């Protein structure tokens, strides 16, 4: 009994790490562009498809496939960023919603058109089980947790010390002032978007060996899971997002085991509504910024 | 004032009334020259006109962007279907019950949601759709889960001994046309009333509206309920038209479609929403040629709408209109 709970919590931490890497990109995009990116899950899907393609057609090893998946997604993000995302800086909220929904439809259905809508087997990754403190875990799950930590420490350092990171923080606080002091807001917005999409892709490639199957519509579910996380974490708040992602990951894992698997995908929005009734600005913000 | 109104006021020639009459006349005789599939598309568009009017009151007039219309649409569809299948009640009972149910459920959902700022409110309303779908899927004893409810009777009316059933596409078209016309009239009366002025005041500046004594909270909550009721009525028609409902009735697709109708036509005008629903028919008709490219084209359409026509396509018509009037 106790053993099962711990096991489920560990599983929850693994999926929490996955959600955290996706959601942190989305929350950074929100902070800088002030737009909910409804296409965010699509970059997760693109990363996975890139890696799947590299393994299936060129027989490349998994680590190379990871790089290819992320780079391919970043290239697409440059195009989308230039033609769509930069234009919605400063546009009304419904413009952002409609434009990113449009991007999601285009990306998802193009992939389905090119590769077909069926489920595909993802054969890469490290699926050997290893034993840690008496628990058996697949190597891939440990890798996910480690990469998650590296990503968060790296982002924290970048946002605190690098020039780009400081500019991102400044833009997310006040666009007008940044423009006045000569920060190229559109340039920052583009880079934030590329980093966010790249992180989503990384997360997708890391999870693919655990999920085993890959299909064109897989991004939608990820988008819907990420949305409550970034609201709970406080929009634009990197550390809050990490905690919210962990809470959601663990809660989902426990609900799936003790309540029923079919309720897993509603945990996010149900928790979100409970949290918002109690704290309308999210868990980690003192006041609503957006 | 729209350009059309402005030019009509200056030249004194208002073409909108004759144009409106012509449109109504055209709508009345449409089954004579429309084929089966275009007529089907028209029916769907007229059904979507109801939730779209609701969304327009909320987004166009009160300034609240909501993605919850699909949730209330689904609630209306299920209410109607359950009543019709289990109790065999006449159509108008199901129809009104669907509107009432959606409006009533909007009250407890609206109270926490409307406390949120813009972006969080959008997310929360999206959550209603996801949770609604999960309930429809998992409350199997009531909704039969993924199998959905089938064999929903076609609308039948019963008053005393007399009763008749609306069967066939043409009959249904006239039923939906009449209901859509009444809904349009109701929406028009709401926005032309003092309440409509107050809604616009809330949209333009909520703090200012509150400071001049408009009870903004009550207005927002009531408009949210009215928009939900409109969506519920639309859902009822949809259930009776397709004669099946399933958890897929709770889909983001419907919320997106209603957004396209409202924003594509021009939020904040009644005629814009009507135009938007016609545009939607045109779009689905035009995209029918290549089914696999349909959703991609839909996506590009959305981008075009946002970047080139941010206030919808209706103002274009307005510009065309003033050209026409100046010509005379």
Rounded to whole angstroms, how far apart are CA atoms A230 and B103? 29
Residues of B in contact with A104 (CB under 8 A): 299
In eight-state DSSP terms, residue A116 is: -
Residues of A in contact with B293 (CB under 8 A): 109, 113
Strand-pair partners of A121: A213
Can you spell out the DSSP letters for B180-207? HHHHHHHHHHHHHSHHHHHHHHHHH-HH
Evaluate if residue B1 carries a pLDDT over 50: no
Condensed to tens digits (0 to 9), the pLDDT of residues B135-174 reads: 888 887 787 877 778 777 777 776 666 667 777 778 888 8
Rounded to whole angstroms, how far apart are CA atoms A57 and A19? 29
CB B1 within 8 A of CB B9: yes
Angle among Cα A12, A15, A18 to the nearest 5 degrees reads 150
Condensed to tens digits (0 to 9), the pLDDT of residues B223-268 reads: 999 999 999 999 999 998 888 888 888 888 888 888 888 888 888 8
With an 8 Å Cβ cutoff, is A275 touching chain B?
no
Choosing among A107, A262, A273, which should be mutated to test the B contact, i.e. which has the most B CBs within 10 A? A273
Rounded to whole angstroms, how far apart are CA atoms A101 and B295? 11
Q: What is the mean pLDDT of residues B114-137?
A: 83
Chain B residue closest in CA terms to A109: B296
Contact B259 A113 (CB under 8 A): no
In this structure, the dihedral spanned by the alpha carbons of residues B320, B261, A102 and A219, taken in order and rounded to 10 degrees, is 180
Structure tokens at A6: 């711990």
Choosing among A105, A106, A109, A236, which should be mutated to test the B contact, i.e. which has the most B CBs within 10 A? A105
Distance from CA of B310 to the nearest CA of A (A): 7
Using DSSP, state whether A137 is helix, strand or coil: strand
Structure confidence at residue B15 (pLDDT)? 63
Q: Which residues in chain B (239-278) have CB-CB distances under 8 A to chain A?
A: 256, 259-260, 263, 267
Evaluate if residue A85 carries a pLDDT over 90: no
Chain A residue closest in CA terms to B290: A113
With an 8 Å Cβ cutoff, is B35 touching chain A?
no
Higher-confidence residue of B21 and A288: namely B21
10 Å CB burial of residue A245 (0-12, 13-18, 19+) is: buried
Most confident of the ranges A97-101, A117-121, B162-166, B313-317: A97-101
Nearest to B30 by CA among B164, B155, B169, B165: B169
Distance from CA of B150 to the nearest CA of A (A): 23
Residue B189: CB atoms within 10 A of its CB come to 11
Q: What are phi and psi of A51, to 5 degrees?
A: -65, -40
Rounded to whole angstroms, how far apart are CA atoms A218 and A45? 6
Higher-confidence residue of B100 and B151: namely B100
With an 8 Å Cβ cutoff, is B116 touching chain A?
yes
Q: Determine the number of helices (DSSP H) and then strands (DSSP E) in chain B.
A: 15, 2
Range from A243-252, B9-18, B132-141, B206-215 carrying the lowest mean pLDDT: B9-18
In eight-state DSSP terms, residue A261 is: G
With an 8 Å Cβ cutoff, is A282 touching chain B?
yes
Strand-pair partners of A136: A131
Evaluate if residue A186 carries a pLDDT over 70: yes
Compare CB distances from B120 to A84, A98, A276 and report the shortest one's residue.
A276
User: What average pLDDT does the structure give for chain B?
Assistant: 82
Distance from CA of A97 to the nearest CA of B (A): 9
CB pairs under 8 A between A and B: 123
- Sign of the CA dihedral B245, B291, A224, B114? negative
Q: What is the mean pLDDT of residues B316-322?
A: 73
ipTM of the complex: 0.84
With an 8 Å Cβ cutoff, is A70 touching chain B?
no
Structure confidence at residue B9 (pLDDT)? 46
Higher-confidence residue of B26 and A23: namely A23
Contact B119 A110 (CB under 8 A): no
Q: What percent of chain A has pLDDT over 90?
A: 18
Structure tokens at A271: 């928790």
Q: Are β-strands A135-138 and A213-214 bridged in parallel, bridged antiparallel, or unpaired?
A: unpaired
Q: Pick left, alpha or beta for residue B245 (phi over 0 → left; psi -120 to 50 → alpha; otherwise beta).
A: beta
Using DSSP, state whether A138 is helix, strand or coil: strand
Compare CB distances from B112 to A109, A276, A282 and report the shortest one's residue.
A276
Distance from CA of A219 to the nearest CA of B (A): 14
Compare CB distances from B115 to A93, A113, A280 and report the shortest one's residue.
A280
Distance from CA of B280 to the nearest CA of A (A): 15
Structure confidence at residue A290 (pLDDT)? 47
pTM above 0.90, yes or no: no
Q: Are β-strands A129-132 and A135-138 bridged in parallel, bridged antiparallel, or unpaired?
A: antiparallel
Rounded to whole angstroms, how far apart are CA atoms B270 and A54? 52
- Provide the angle, in degrees to the nearest 10, between the axes of the packed helices A2-33 and A163-173: 80
With an 8 Å Cβ cutoff, is A113 touching chain B?
yes
Using DSSP, state whether B139 is helix, strand or coil: coil
Q: What is the mean pLDDT of residues B118-126?
A: 82
CB A271 within 8 A of CB A251: yes
Chain A residue closest in CA terms to B299: A102
- At B2, the pLDDT band (50, 70, 90 cuts) reads low
Compare CB distances from A269 to B112, B131, B292 and report the shortest one's residue.
B131
Using DSSP, state whether A35 is helix, strand or coil: coil
Structure confidence at residue B11 (pLDDT)? 46
Contact B115 A99 (CB under 8 A): no
Can you spell out the DSSP letters for A175-228? HHHHHHTT--HHHHHHHHHHHHHHHHHHHHHHHHHHH-EE-TTHHHHHHHHHHH
Q: What is the mean pLDDT of residues B209-220?
A: 84
Compare CB distances from A106 to B67, B127, B296 and report the shortest one's residue.
B296
Q: What is the mean pLDDT of residues A205-219?
A: 84
* Gyration radius of chain A over CA positions: 19
Distance from CA of A126 to the nearest CA of B (A): 34
Contact B305 A98 (CB under 8 A): yes
Contact B120 A290 (CB under 8 A): yes
Q: Determine the number of helices (DSSP H) and then strands (DSSP E) in chain A.
A: 11, 4
CB A2 within 8 A of CB A57: no
Choosing among A276, A277, A286, which should be mutated to test the B contact, i.e. which has the most B CBs within 10 A? A276
Residues of A in contact with B256 (CB under 8 A): 101
Compare CB distances from A288 to B117, B124, B267 and report the shortest one's residue.
B117
Contact B131 A277 (CB under 8 A): no
Choosing among B126, B131, B292, which should be mutated to test the A contact, i.e. which has the most A CBs within 10 A? B126
Evaluate if residue A277 carries a pLDDT over 80: no
Contact A102 B303 (CB under 8 A): yes
Evaluate if residue B291 carries a pLDDT over 70: no
Most confident of the ranges B18-22, B93-97, B120-124: B93-97
Condensed to tens digits (0 to 9), the pLDDT of residues B40-54 reads: 888 888 999 999 999
With an 8 Å Cβ cutoff, is A36 touching chain B?
yes
Contact B302 A227 (CB under 8 A): no
CA distances from B277 to A110, A277, B182, B183 (A): 27, 36, 16, 14
Compare CB distances from A94 to B65, B295, B300 and report the shortest one's residue.
B65
CB A180 within 8 A of CB A80: no
Chain B residue closest in CA terms to A104: B299
CB A196 within 8 A of CB A28: yes
Q: What is the mean pLDDT of residues B193-199?
A: 85
Residues of B in contact with A84 (CB under 8 A): 303
């Amino acid at each position: 009994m106790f053993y099962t709970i711990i096991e489920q919590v560990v599983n929850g931490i693994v999926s929490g790490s996955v959600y955290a890497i996706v959601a942190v990109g989305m929350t950074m995009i929100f902070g800088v562009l002030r737009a909910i990116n409804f296409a965010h899950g699509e970059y997760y899907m693109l990363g996975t498809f890139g890696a799947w393609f590299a393994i299936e057609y060129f027989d490349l090893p998994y680590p190379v496939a990871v790089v290819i998946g992320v780079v391919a997604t970043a290239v697409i993000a440059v195009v989308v960023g230039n033609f769509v995302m930069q234009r919605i800086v400063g546009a009304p909220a419904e413009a952002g919603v409609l434009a990113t929904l449009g991007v999601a439809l285009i990306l998802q259905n193009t992939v389905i058109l090119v590769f077909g809508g069926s489920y595909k087997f993802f054969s890469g990754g490290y699926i050997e089980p290893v034993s840690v403190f008496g628990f058996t875990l697949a190597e891939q799950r440990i890798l996910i947790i480690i990469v998650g930590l590296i990503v968060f420490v790296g982002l924290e350092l970048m946002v605190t010390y690098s020039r780009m990171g400081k500019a991102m923080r400044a833009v997310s606080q006040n666009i007008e002032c940044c423009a006045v002091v000569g920060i190229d807001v559109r340039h920052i917005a583009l880079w934030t978007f590329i980093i966010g999409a790249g992180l989503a892709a990384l997360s997708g490639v890391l999870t693919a060996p655990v999920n085993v199957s890959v299909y064109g519509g897989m991004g939608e579910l990820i988008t819907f899971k990420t949305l409550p996380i970034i609201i709970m974490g406080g929009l634009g708040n990197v550390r809050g997002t990490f905690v919210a992602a962990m809470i959601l990951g663990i809660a989902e894992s426990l609900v799936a085991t003790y309540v029923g698997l079919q309720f897993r995908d509603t945990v996010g929005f149900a928790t979100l509504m409970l949290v918002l009734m109690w704290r309308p600005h999210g868990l980690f913000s003192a006041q609503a910024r957006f | 004032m729209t350009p059309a109104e402005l030019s009509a006021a200056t030249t004194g020639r208002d073409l909108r009334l004759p144009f409106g009459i012509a449109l109504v006349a055209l709508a009345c005789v449409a089954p004579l020259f429309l084929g089966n599939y275009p007529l089907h598309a028209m029916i769907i568009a007229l059904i979507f006109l109801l939730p779209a009017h609701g969304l327009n009151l909320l987004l166009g007039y009160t300034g609240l962007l909501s993605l919850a219309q699909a949730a209330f649409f689904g609630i209306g569809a299920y209410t109607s279907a359950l009543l019709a299948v289990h109790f065999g009640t006449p159509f108008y009972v199901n129809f009104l019950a669907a509107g009432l149910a959606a409006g009533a459920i909007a009250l407890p959902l609206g109270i926490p949601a409307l406390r949120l700022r813009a972006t969080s409110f959008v997310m929360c309303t999206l959550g209603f759709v996801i949770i609604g779908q999960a309930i429809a899927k998992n409350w199997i004893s009531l909704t039969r889960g993924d199998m959905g409810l089938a064999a929903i009777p076609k609308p039948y009316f019963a008053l005393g001994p007399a009763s008749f059933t609306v069967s066939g596409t043409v009959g249904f078209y006239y039923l939906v046309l009449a209901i859509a016309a009444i809904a349009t009239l109701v929406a028009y009366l709401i926005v032309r009333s003092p309440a409509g002025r107050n809604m616009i005041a809330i949209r333009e500046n909520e703090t200012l509206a509150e400071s001049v004594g408009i009870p903004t909270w009550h207005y927002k909550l009531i408009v949210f309920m009215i928009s939900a009721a409109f969506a519920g009525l639309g859902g009822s028609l949809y259930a009776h038209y397709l004669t099946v409902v399933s958890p897929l009735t709770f889909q983001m697709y419907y919320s997106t479609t209603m957004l396209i109708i409202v924003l594509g036509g021009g939020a904040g005008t009644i005629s814009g929403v009507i135009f938007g629903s016609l545009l939607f028919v045109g779009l689905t008709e035009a995209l029918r040629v290549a089914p696999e490219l349909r959703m991609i084209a839909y996506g590009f359409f959305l981008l075009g709408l946002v970047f080139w026509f941010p206030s919808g396509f209706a103002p274009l018509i307005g510009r065309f209109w003033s050209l026409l009037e100046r010509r005379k």
